[in-house]
Amino acid sequence: MGVFEMVGTVVRSVFRKPATLMYPVKTAKITPLSRGHVVIDVSRCISCRICQKKCPSQAIWVEPKEKTWQINRLRCNVCNSCVETCPVKCLTMDTHYIPSVTVRPGAELFHITYVKPPKPEITAESKD
Amino acid sequence: MSRQIIIPFGPQHPVLPEPIHLDLVLEDEIVVDVIPSIGYVHRGLEKLVERREYTEYVYVAERICGICSFVHGLAYCQGVEGMMKIEVPERALYLRTIWSEYSRLHSHLLTLGLFADVLGFENLFMNAWRLREHILDDMEATTGGRVIQGSCKVGGVRRDISSEKLDQMVSGLNELEKEMKELTEVFLRDSSIKSRLCGVGVLPKKEAYEYGAAGPTLRGSGWSIDARKLGYAAFSKLNFEPVVETQGDCYARCAVRAKEMFVSIDLIRQAVQKIPDGPVEVKVTGAPDGEYFTRVEQPRGELVHYLKGNGTKNLVRSRVRTPTFTNIPPLVAMLKGCELADVPVIVHSIDPCIGCAER
């Protein structure tokens, strides 16, 4: 039967700096692999909708005609599935978490600026 | 016979991290019967298997539980791999073993901390969670997620760990082991904890088996049953013995968890020594057809995943049997005859994870 089993730990904890962090005043610990939030490079997105199909929480919505890419940050569960499957690698994972909110912000809208390069014209010379 | 009264326990109760409802039938201060009911956090994740591709469902399977998430992902991937007869590279199997032992460490530290909180030992709770933070840091550095790792995939693992990082992890664990020894000494030797746990909620050996207890609840009652002995992932190549206690009370279940952490550290060390070089994933083509049962050892006990496919990209059925679900009948048996003041301690001694149990 032990009585003062924790004294050693308690004494050490008194002289140690706090184990907790004053988040959000101080930034949270992040590692290079941390999954924070998805970032899109609108100049490269080809509106293929693969990210929309592969999203397990249906947070991404792409409109190829209107050239928009939407993401609902509160639905997104930051699984990295879209980043892995994007064929042109226009999606990347940022290591910083999105700040917490008090009102539901709805979907975040991005306008895709990618323009498909024109096909080289087939002339009589190139056919030959 | 004295008058019987019914006291509702839960779904909202200060000691319960998750909602479970127990109707306690009392005679004076003694519990004579318990009527459990669940159904407060059902999310329909099993049905979702019909709407998500089998490669994406890993993310959903991982989110069945917020603590043993990696093990759920592992069990699901193992099931699909078994159905499609995929040979997973050796290195991926070892990495899966390392991560599943890491998740066992963090789950046991979490539950011991909460257990101390239930007993009213606040600073022991904070100390356990301080140590758990080191485990979570290593998890985040290797997989990208603190509790939802997302590193398991059908056909292998998503990320490799470099050998320098593996050595660093082992040396970190060596440091942590000393602090963990101090922590478990308090759980195993402190007189105030012993007086609260010894002889409380006794589950005899025979009843533990008959009611279908799993994991530390079963091993605390003297059965040496551990699904890791089946040899899934790389466990067949590592040496370990399941921790067994014979008393069957809350103290025994607490002791099993405390001692199992050191077995996990030893398993990680062995795995890091034996890990071979090579690829970590194979390319998966086609779609699963047939059905498959997998059994793995979660921190809370034996987990069973049943999967059925019909040759399309979506599976047709997934059934998950979680250890908490099977631990509810033993819990009812333990609670009968105990005092009302001991109910929170006994409920917590099975480490209830209701999110798992209801899926």
Q: Domain ranges in chain B? A: 41-358
Q: Which of B29, B34, B36, B28 is nearest to B11 (CA)?
A: B36
The per-residue pLDDT for range B42-79, each reduced to its tens digit, is 888 888 888 888 888 899 888 888 888 889 999 999 99
Cβ-Cβ contacts under 8 Å, A2 against chain B = 185-186, 189-191
Q: What percent of chain B has pLDDT over 70?
A: 100
Picking from A4, A23, A31, A50 by the largest number of B CB atoms within 10 A of its own CB, the best residue to mutate is: A31
pLDDT along chain A (128 residues), means of 10: 72 84 82 87 86 88 88 87 88 84 81 81 67
Mutate to test the interface with A, among B130, B131, B313 (most CBs of A within 10 A): B130
Planar angle of CA A110, A111, A113, nearest 5 degrees: 130
Across the interface, of A6, A35, A93, the residue whose CB is closest to B186 is A6
Lookup: tokens for B305: 């995943």
Mean pLDDT for the stretch of residues B258-281: 90
Q: Which residue is associated with the tokens 């469902």?
A: B57
* ipTM given for this complex: 0.78
> Which residues 6+ apart lie within 8 Å of A18 measured at CB?
none
Give B97's pLDDT tier (boundaries 50, 70, 90): very high
Spell out which residues of chain A touch residue B56, defining contact as CB-CB under 8 Å.
Answer: 54, 56, 81
What is the phi/psi pair of residue A36, to 5°?
-100, -70
Instruction: Give the chain A residue whose CA is nearest to the CA of B129.
Output: A19
> What pLDDT score was predicted for residue B109?
92
The confidence score (pLDDT) of residue B108 equals 92
Cα separation, B304 vs B52, whole angstroms: 20
Q: Using pLDDT thresholds of 50, 70 and 90, give the confidence band for residue B160.
A: confident
From A118's Cα to the closest Cα of chain B, the distance in A is 34
* Res. B227: pLDDT tops 60: yes
Phi-psi region of B210 (alpha: psi -120 to 50; beta: other; left: phi over 0): alpha
Q: What is the pLDDT of residue B18?
A: 82
Could you tell me which CATH class the domain B41-358 is placed in? mainly alpha
Residue B216 corresponds to which tokens in the numbers above? 């530390």
Q: Report the residue of chain B nearest A29, measured CA to CA.
A: B137
B262: confidence class by pLDDT, cuts 50, 70, 90: very high
Spatial contact of B339 and B310, defined as CB atoms under 8 Å apart: no
Average pLDDT over residues B78-100: 90
Q: Extract the tokens encoding A27.
A: 């930034």
SS3 of residue B229 by DSSP: helix
| Contacts A77 to B, Cβ<8 Å | 59, 63, 148
* B198 inside 8 A of chain A by CB: no
CA distance A125 to B288: 51
Going by pLDDT thresholds of 50, 70 and 90, the confidence category of residue B196 is confident
Of chain B, the percentage scoring pLDDT greater than 90 comes to 17
Do B66 and B111 meet the contact criterion of CB atoms below 8 Å apart? no
Specify the pTM.
0.87
pLDDT higher than threshold 80 for residue B111 = yes
Among the listed residues B248, B241, B240, B243, the one whose alpha carbon sits nearest the alpha carbon of residue B213: B248
pLDDT at res. B263: 92
Mean pLDDT of the B216-222 span: 89
Instruction: Please name the member of A3, A29, A81 whose beta carbon is closest to the beta carbon of B137.
Output: A29
The conformation of residue B5, written as its DSSP 8-state character, comes to E
Instruction: Flag whether residue B122 sits within 8 Å of chain A, measured between CB atoms.
Output: no
Tokens at residue A49, please? Answer: 């909708």
Taking only the tens place, the pLDDT of each residue in A86-101 is 888 888 888 888 877 8
Q: Which two tokens stand for residue B70?
A: 């990696």
Instruction: Give the number of C-alpha atoms closer than 13 A to the C-alpha of residue B324, restricted to the C-beta side.
Output: 22
In chain B, residues with a C-beta closer than 8 Å to the C-beta of A81 are 56, 59
Q: What average pLDDT does chain B have?
A: 88
Does the N-terminal peptide bond of residue A24 adopt cis geometry, omega within 30 degrees of 0? yes
Return the pLDDT at B164.
87
Instruction: Give alpha helix (H) positions in chain B.
Output: 57-62, 69-84, 90-119, 122-143, 163-189, 191-197, 205-210, 216-219, 250-274, 323-335, 343-349, 354-358
**What one-letter code names the amino acid at B167?**
D
Give contacts of A35 with chain B, Cβ < 8 Å. Answer: 144-145, 150
Residue-range domains of chain A with CATH: 42-116 (3.30.70.3270)
Q: Which of A2, A29, A35 sits opposite B144 (nearest CB)?
A: A35
CB B263 within 8 A of CB B239: no
Mean pLDDT computed over B107-128: 88
Whole-angstrom distance, CA of residue B296 vs CA of residue B9: 32
How large is the average pLDDT for residues B20-27? 89
The pLDDT of residue B179: 86
| Distance to chain B for A55, nearest Cα, Å | 8
pLDDT of residue A3: 66
